[in-house]
Structure 1
Amino acid sequence: MKLIYSEASPYARTARMVVRELGLTGQVEEVAHHPFDNPQELLDANPLCKVPCLIDDKGMAIFDSQVIAEYLDAKADGDKELFAAVNKDWQLKTLYSLTRGLMDTAVALQQDKMRGEGQSEFWQERFYGALDRGLGYLQKHLASFPKQFEVLSINTVALVDYIRFRHPDYQRLDSFTKLTMWCDEQESRLSVTQTAPK
């Protein structure tokens, strides 16, 4: 299998972390492409030209980070089911959805910043407000996270690290002490250290 990714993408990072947590590094070749370069390999596989994109052993393209994670989780052997807890609990599934929505918000904020003089004060206020509320909600429900490191954990680490990477000006992040400390505690995992955004 081949996983097309970008080193800065939080979505691609979640897929790369899933590969490592499931012990599939020997079965998945990782190929870095920047989607803004419109690489032909990515265009041929995903009409949206977005990462991550997984190409399986039969040449089938699978895209969207959640779909890729579910596919790899189903393919993996043993008891490393990363979706087991989320699929059995509506609150956990909702928290997982929240992490995805917060990633969308953080990425949209970065895209707006890239507009330079065309930045929208209205949308930036909306984005920062959503981050404030969403991260607060995650921290409030941190105690309900599964004890094992699974998809909700993966998304949360990728989200917080992406905010640190792209939005160092977002000082409110430091106020979510329990959440950031929890994320820092995961730094010893190889899946976290080997996929840090660049």
Structure 2
Amino acid sequence: MKLIYSTASPYARAARIFVQELGLSEQVEEVFRHPFENPTELIEANPLCKVPCLIDDSGNALFDSQVICEYLDAQAGNRLFNEINNDWHLKTLYSLTRGLLDSAVAWQQDKMRAELQSDFWQERFIKSIDRGLDYLEQRLNELPKNFSAIHINLIAVLDYLDFRHAEYQWQTKFSKLKDWWLSYKEKPSIVATQPKA
């Protein structure tokens, strides 16, 4: 299998953490491509030219990080979605982490518009992140006991906020969330996939 990724994408990072946590590193070749450069290999696999994109051993492309992560998890015996799949509350918390990723990335995309960025949308993104992180901070004890897809997405969100939105200073706003994050930040899969430009 081949996983096309970029080092800045939190979605691609989640997929890369899945690869490592599931022990699939020898089966999955990771290939860096910058989507803004419109690489032919990525466009041919994913018409949206987005990362991550997984090409399986038959040459079929899977895209969208959730699809890829669920596929990888299925290949390895359903370990990271196991507690989530049959629990609607946990599915909702997982969906919230995906929504937080969407807000954080959209906030960055609006920032990149420089003088054209929208104060209205900037505030919308920040407020949604405020509320989402507060909601999760109050429910940390409800997360799966074992390291899961929720943990992976939430770590990806928090590290992406540090990477792209350092001024947000989530660590000073959410002390319980910070303590939770500190307990996982040295995991090898987390260290190895830190976001970078």
TM-score by length of 1: 0.97
Letter paired with 2:47:
P
1:172 Cα offset (Å)? 4.5
TM-score normalised according to structure 2 size: 0.97
Render the CA deviation track for 1:145-169: whole Å, top value 9, x for unaligned: 1121110000010010000110001
Could you say which residue in structure 1 is the equivalent of 2:111?
A: 113
How far apart, in 2, do the equivalents of 1:60 and 1:34 lie?
A: 21
The 3-state SS of whatever aligns with 1:31 is strand
Q: Which amino acid aligns with 2:28?
A: V
Q: Distance in 2 between matches of 1:29 and 1:92?
A: 31
* Corresponding position of 2:86: 88
CA distance in 2: counterparts of 1:171 and 1:7, whole angstroms: 22
Question: Does residue 18 of structure 1 match 2:51?
Answer: no
Give the 5 Å matches for 1:97-112. Answer: 97-112=95-110
**Gapped regions of structure 1 (runs ≥ 5):** none
Inter-partner Cα distance in structure 2 for 1:37 and 1:184: 35
State the SS of the aligned residue for 2:166: coil
Q: Distance in 1 between matches of 2:69 and 2:135?
A: 24
Aligned counterparts of 1:161 and 1:46: Cα–Cα separation in 2: 26
Moved over 4 A (4+): none
Equivalences for residues 2-151 of structure 1 within 5 A: 2-77=2-77, 81-151=79-149
- Does the residue aligned with 2:126 lie in a helix, a strand or coil? helix
The Cα shift of 1:188 comes to: 2.1
**How many residues are paired up?**
196
- Identity, in percent, stands at 62
What's the secondary structure of 1:186's corresponding residue?
Answer: coil
